[in-house]
Amino acid sequence: MAGTPPALSAPNRDRQSFLSSGMAVIWGIALAKLLFHIYFNSRYGYFRDEFNYMSCGDHLQWGYVDQPPLIPFLIHVCRAVLGDSLRSVRFIPALASSLLVVQTAVLAREFGGRRFALILSAICAVTAPQYLSNAGLLGTNSLEPNLWMGCAYFAILAIKRSDPRYWLWFGVVAGLGMEEKYSIAVFGLGIVVGLLLTEQRRVFLTRWIWLGGLAAFLIFLPNLLWNIHYDWPFVQLMRAIKAEGRDVVLGPVQFFLQQTLLVNPLTAPIWLAGLFALLFSARLKPYRVLGWCYLVCYAVFFVLHGKNYYLAPVYPMLLAAGAFVVETGIRRPRLAWLKPAIVVLLLANGVYLAPIVVPILSPDRFLAYVKYLPMKLPVMEHFHARAALPQWYSDQFGWQEIVDETAIAWNRLASEERNDCGIFAQDYGQAGAIDFLGRRYGLPASLSGHQTWFLWGPRGYSGNCMIVLDDRREKLEQLWQHVDYVGTSAASPYALEQQIAVFICRGKKFDSWTGLWPHVKRWR
């Protein structure tokens, strides 16, 4: 018929939908975030925990004292492909945090959000300090929000499409999450409680959720068997940390306030609106399980005195629900001006807060900047308070100086001594720095009694010659006949770990490392 517009082909319809829905903008935001982190991720130095992950990645196995195997495996592959530069080591966290922007927007779309809800949820994810921090440091926090929200996504699809088969995929992602960080079990517990407390409990009458549970168990099983074989080292670690009283315990008000800081204080009305909508709104009633899930996670981490960031992976789903609520509330034309105003306000505040967690400023300029912040930065462990910079920055300094001093000790050894002279470090930061930064000096792999290094043992050394870092001379003289002080690592004004003494110890007084090794165990 004349004048009738031609029908769009399927590819054209998909392209038009992709552009009109706002997903093209979302992917653009995610790409910009990725490039931002790639640029700034090399400003300071390697972080203490990154040495741990890289050393564990050099010893691939199904578990480690302080973590499951996924992150060490991924960094092993990443280094093989991209190399050892800071940008390479931190590419995985930068990519994961950028993809979280897309995941958050997709959740908003599944809740019923349109273009503005998608963009608003993405901006919230971009400006959240915790997710900015996740993108700049390799760690188990890097992938944790992606895996939690992967589970949330399949839970939403199972409910929205009345298709219980999605619970199988929920189980697959949950199993991968257990191989990345055990805390996803708390999210799984929250989902189970949420299902039991809502009309969605009928899913337990289908086989799919049980198959999902079986899939999660089978994926997690190798790490479970590893823990059983080594007498539950992660449980031992948690008990040791609790007994030492290392972590700062937060009261109920401080715990809540620090949650708002993690996800940007200006987004608190948005994620709180999302929480209340999930719990009480008729439009989001089918997804009430997610509201209950949040409450369970919050209660568990607070009661167990978890660190403030343990709950951070759950917020994208609340931000997505909140963005849907905000969009619904300002659809009237006379309120249209609020949309750009909210976005600009969030972006401006995000820029203001970004130097807290992204090394945009030099250390000296950061110390000047932090004086003008309206709040004190959180301290998660008591000994972190001694550093000039917050721990996530201070633990990126001082490692090269420690390795340099250790190399001086190594070069003092006669060539015939080196084959049977190990380097003993006190913690995984020192040990991992020796393993990674010491290669250019020809240093051997380190020994330590700290966490997974304890399981790796004395590496065949007799103990008759040993370079020892950061110990008391009088203690060393009880174990060796000759203890020579080499020097102390150069001071770094920004480092948490300051001026480490280095000794060369010769002529052992003990029978063998095999007998002494159980006494060097240090789990905390």
Q: What is the pLDDT of residues 184-198, one digit of tens each?
A: 999 999 999 999 999
Shortest CA distance to 360 belongs to which of 143, 132, 29, 138? 132
How far apart CA 379 and CA 503 sit, in angstroms, is: 33
pLDDT band of 315, cuts 50, 70, 90 = very high
Over residues 11-21, mean pLDDT: 57
d(CA 151, CA 522): 35
- For β-strands 501-508 and 421-425, DSSP reports them as unpaired
| Nearest partner of 425 among 398, 403, 392, 395, judged by Cα | 403
pLDDT at 511: 87
Q: Which of 1-15, 238-252, 469-483 has the lowest mean pLDDT?
A: 1-15
DSSP SS3 for 450:
strand
Q: Yes or no: say if 191 and 289 are a contact pair by the CB < 8 Å rule.
A: yes
pLDDT of residue 1: 47
The burial class, CB within 10 Å (0-12 / 13-18 / 19+), for 63 is: buried
521 is written with which tokens?
A: 């165990």
The two most distant CA atoms of the chain are separated, in Å, by: 102
Are 338 and 344 in contact by the 8 Å Cβ rule? The answer is no
- What angle, rounded to 10 degrees, do the helices at 48-57 and 428-437 form? 60
Helix 115-127 with 315-329: angle, nearest 10 deg: 140
C-alpha triplet 234, 514, 440: angle, nearest 5°: 75
The strands making up 421-425's β-sheet, listed across from edge to edge, are: 447-448, 421-425, 465-469, 501-508, 480-488
2 pLDDT above the threshold of 60: no
**C-alpha count within 13 angstroms, C-beta hemisphere, residue 186:** 21
Alpha helices by DSSP H, 386-512:
391-394, 399-412, 415-418, 428-437, 452-456, 473-476
**pLDDT tens profile 494-509:** 888 778 999 999 999 9
d(CA 356, CA 373): 10
For residues 262-281, average pLDDT: 96
Tokens of 367: 């110390």
Query: What is the spatial distance between Cα 499 and Cα 492, in angstroms, rounded to a whole number?
Result: 8
CA distances from 344 to 34, 347, 474 (A): 20, 5, 61
139-162 mean pLDDT: 97
Give the Cα separation of 127 and 322 in Å (integer). 15
pLDDT tops 70 at residue 45: yes
8 A C-beta contact, residue 447 and residue 462: no
| Average pLDDT score, the chain | 91
- Residue 20 — pLDDT band, cuts 50, 70, 90? low
Report domain extents, the chain. 20-356, 399-520
Dihedral over alpha carbons 365, 371, 373, 375 (to 10 degrees): 140
What's the predicted TM-score (pTM) here? 0.92
> Which of 274-283, 364-373, 487-496, 513-522: highest mean pLDDT?
274-283
Contact 190, 290 (CB under 8 A): no
User: Buried (b) or exposed (e) across 298-332, using 16+ Cβ within 10 A?
Assistant: bebbbeeebbbbbbbbbbbbbbbbbbbbbbbebee
For tokens 């967690």, what's the residue?
357
Contact between residue 444 and residue 489 where contact means Cβ atoms under 8 Å apart? no
Residue 372's pLDDT band, with cuts at 50, 70 and 90, is confident
